[in-house]
Amino acid sequence: MARVEIVTVSYKNHGDTKAFLESFMSLRGYEACHVTVVNNAVGSEDESELNRMAEFCAGSVTMVYSPENLYYWGGANLVVPPLLDSKGERGNADWVIVCNNDVLFNDPSFLETLGTYDPSNHGVIAPSIISLATSRDQNPFLRKSPSFLNLIKWRLQYSSFHIAKMLLGLTWVLEPMRRLMRRDGHPDRTRKGEDIFAPHGAFVIFSRRYFETGGRLDTRVPMYMEEISTGAIAEQIGVPVRFCPELQVQHREHATTGSELTRIQWSRTKVGFDHVWRHYLSPRSRRQHRVS
């Protein structure tokens, strides 16, 4: 049976972590799986509450306390490498799931379904992630490698906070029209399994093959753009990113960050975009990767 490890990151929102763990324990076969909760908020009151949660889960959960806030990908990367080390106590994982703590398992057969996939034939799996805020599937995050128009839009979006607000408002206006078009003869294709470019970052399933082929979690920026860096790395190392709607979770979207774009959020996202542009998306970076 494939070995599955789940890594989630918590920052003061213990209610989300508790709900996540309760949903995990509803899965058939959860005893054969293991969850590591990385606590990015240091403090004795945090430790006592989280330790009680771990005890409730009867050995299926380990709590790890970060000495500082390493954010999402950085916190996860504290524990992912040992899970792949064949010499480690819990090494040799076939699948490593990295996810937000505000997701919920709503399908008791999730682990059984994942067990039907061969990790040697997959790189990254993007499950169906149903937003409880919009009832829409957040995957595929990006079907194809960013187009020229995508890049123009993103360059504009991260050139100015006010332009970003304007583009976001335009998206809110156009989205109902897109939904209407899909109902009027343009079917929504997201329910079909397919190879895609980037998975939504709220719940990403990495195969052992992804890491053995040279894949990694790019932790060089604190927050955001995990989707783009993961898709670009998978493309560089030649492993697929596969959208698999048979696997489904729910996402309490914006439960902790809010739905309004703030200047701080925009600034942090801009740092992430500048990083992926420089290392993955710019014409120069793409030429370098083709040469290497």
Which tens digit of pLDDT belongs to each residue from 240-258? 999 999 999 999 975 444 4
Place of tokens 């040469």: 291
Q: Mean pLDDT for the chain? A: 85
Average pLDDT over residues 260-285: 89
Which tens digit of pLDDT belongs to each residue from 132-177? 988 999 999 999 998 888 889 888 989 898 888 888 777 654 455 4
> What is the per-residue pLDDT for 24?
94
> What is the per-residue pLDDT for 104?
97
Q: Which fold has domain 4-145+188-260?
A: Spore Coat Polysaccharide Biosynthesis Protein SpsA; Chain A (3.90.550)
> What is the per-residue pLDDT for 260?
73
Dihedral sign for Cα 278, 289, 244, 119, please: negative
> What is the per-residue pLDDT for 190?
47
**Counting Cβ atoms within 10 Å, is residue 191 exposed (0-12), middle (13-18) or buried (19+)?**
exposed
**How many residues does this entry show for the chain?**
292
Ranges of each domain in the chain? 4-145+188-260
The DSSP bridge pattern shows strands 61-65 and 124-131 to be unpaired
What percent of the chain is predicted at pLDDT more than 90? 52
**Counting Cβ atoms within 10 Å, is residue 172 exposed (0-12), middle (13-18) or buried (19+)?**
exposed
Which tens digit of pLDDT belongs to each residue from 56-78? 776 688 889 888 899 999 999 99
Residue from 196, 281, 282 nearest 239 by CA: 196
Backbone angles phi, psi at 210, to 5 degrees: -55, -45
Place of tokens 């990495």: 206
What pTM, to 2 d.p., does this model score? Answer: 0.88
Rounded distance between C-alpha atoms, residue 120 and residue 122, angstroms = 6
> What is the per-residue pLDDT for 182?
42
